[in-house]
Amino acid sequence: MTTQRATKMVEGQAAWLNAVERTSAGLKGAARSIANSLGATVPLEEHEPIYPPAPSFSDLHIYASVKKANSVRAMFGLKNPFNRVHEGRLGATTMSEGREFINFASYDYLGLNQEPAVAEAAKAAIDRYGTSVSASRLVAGERPIHRALERALADFYDTEDCIVYVSGHATNVSTVGILMEQDDLIVYDELMHNSGIVGGKLSRATMKSFAHNNLEALEKVLKENRGKHKNCLILIEGLYSMDGDFPDLPRVIELKKKYGAWLMCDEAHSLGVLGKTGRGVGEHFGVNFRDVDIWMGTLSKTLGTCGGYICGNHGLIDLLRHHSPGYVYSVGLSPPLTAGSLAALELLKAEPQRVKKLQENGQLFLEEARKAGLDVLTSAGYSVVPVIVGCPVRAVRLTESLMEDGINALPIIFPAVPMKAARLRFFITSRHTPEQIRHTVKLTAQKLTTIAKKQSMLERAALAVAAPRD
């Protein structure tokens, strides 16, 4: 058939279809007017379903837990311990509602958020580059301080390159989310931070957890599952944010090599904390930093600003610069945060005595707490020491009671930790004094005993009802 004939045929068919459509519309219209004249109604389009209005957000099932928390607090006469307003910078002490408190609720581990040099660097960056870079770095370009910070972090971790993001949380979500794919496997410590897990879910890879810091359990998962998947990523933290302990990194490296997996280590609470000069869990164990494929960290803890980073080889960082959604489709790290982080990193390198002081303070807190009979789980006594309380109502009560005596330490309750593992989490910094630490531990132990004795039948019942959901 010639092209001309084929075109003619198609045109003919299109004209015929149009005619049919017009006729059928005409017939439908005629039927509707006959029906109307006889007093009957005909639905306009029978195949279009009618939808109810969108529900109110407060009727969503996830809002139920918000209502429940409010009613439990009301039932036990407790105030909301979260989102408290502080009138200044949080350090070893803080001012809130006009009162001074000894503070254990913020992670400025080396006191760098208190340092004039960090604030000055941030202010100078605002004067020169403004408060924002005003678009993604791909579009609005880089400022010299971006590359300077990335180079400094890459050198600190003895890796080839680094990429910084506007948020620590987004760093994990974007990196894990883009690197892993549907036929891959992610094996993660059960206490891994939410951001790594959200990234894993986004990737659609198969996810398997192993019992906290139990490397036999890790090997079992790898042995049973590694062969079924294309690529494999092991996700751990350098120092766990809830329990304050750390993994046996050399053994994890052996396993990752044996099973042909990548290893990603989140250094959020380990940078500036572990190792003689604060280079984290890698320095603590004296491993070759290049044996860890992905070093992740946040700028929001030790470095006193806000944002996150990934350090690794050129291939990894190049891939993230081109594909990672939190980098490509998000604004570049703002000038004051970039310059502030760089100044803080320089101070960390120049003054390792801060790291030593933090480590001494952490050990002192741990020893005192153990002597006082407090349950500190497996905390290694560095930046994070939990004090287990058990019942969430009791944990909130303990926070309230400590506040009455000038101590700010916040509860961690379900769903952040299992229902019966409610605790107060103490963040230790290099700026705390031994007196502040001893006083706080002593008071915590005293108050916990008093609160436990006073625990009402109602509280015991509430915990028993809640317990099966652990």
Ligand X SMILES: Cc1ncc(COP(=O)(O)O)c(C=O)c1O
Binding region for ligand X (CB under 6 A)? 167-169, 172, 193, 195, 237, 241, 266, 268-269, 298, 300, 308
Place of tokens 């960082």: 317
Minimum separation from the CB atom of position 466 to ligand X (A): 25
Per the CB < 8 A criterion, the answer to whether 240 and 211 are in contact is no
Query: What are the C-alpha distances in Å from 461 to residues 67, 71, 389, 418?
Result: 19, 15, 16, 17
Select 310 or 407, whichever has its Cβ closest to ligand X: 310
Q: Which two tokens stand for residue 187?
A: 């094996």
Which residues, listed in sequence order, are joined to residue 407 by a DSSP beta bridge? Answer: 102
Per the CB < 8 A criterion, the answer to whether 309 and 165 are in contact is yes
Select 184 or 189, whichever has its Cβ closest to ligand X: 189
Query: Is the preceding peptide bond at 434 cis, omega within 30 degrees of 0?
Result: no
For 371, residues 6+ apart whose C-beta sits below 8 A from its C-beta are: none
Residue nearest ligand X, Cβ-based: 168
Would the CA dihedral through 293, 353, 192, 164 be positive or negative? Answer: negative
Select 379 or 436, whichever has its Cβ closest to ligand X: 379
Select 195 or 408, whichever has its Cβ closest to ligand X: 195
Angle at 365 between CA 101 and CA 241, to 5 degrees: 85
Query: What are the C-alpha distances in Å from 347 to residues 11, 116, 305, 352, 354?
Result: 77, 11, 14, 8, 9
Q: 130: how many CB neighbours lie within 10 A of its CB?
A: 13
Select 244 or 381, whichever has its Cβ closest to ligand X: 244
Minimum separation from the CB atom of position 300 to ligand X (A): 3
Q: Which two tokens stand for residue 54?
A: 């969108």
Select 259 or 426, whichever has its Cβ closest to ligand X: 426
Minimum separation from the CB atom of position 399 to ligand X (A): 19
Minimum separation from the CB atom of position 296 to ligand X (A): 7
3-state secondary structure of 186: strand
Strand order in the sheet with 206-210: 161-165, 308-312, 294-298, 262-266, 232-237, 185-189, 206-210
Minimum separation from the CB atom of position 241 to ligand X (A): 4
Minimum separation from the CB atom of position 242 to ligand X (A): 9
Radius of gyration of the chain (CA): 29
What is the spatial distance between Cα 131 and Cα 167, in angstroms, rounded to a whole number? 16
Minimum separation from the CB atom of position 301 to ligand X (A): 7
Select 193 or 432, whichever has its Cβ closest to ligand X: 193
Minimum separation from the CB atom of position 193 to ligand X (A): 4
Select 193 or 256, whichever has its Cβ closest to ligand X: 193
Select 326 or 335, whichever has its Cβ closest to ligand X: 326
In sequence order, what DSSP letters do the residues of 84-135 get, joined into one string? Answer: ---SS--SSEEEETTEEEEE-S---TTSGGG-HHHHHHHHHHHHHH-S---S
Minimum separation from the CB atom of position 267 to ligand X (A): 8
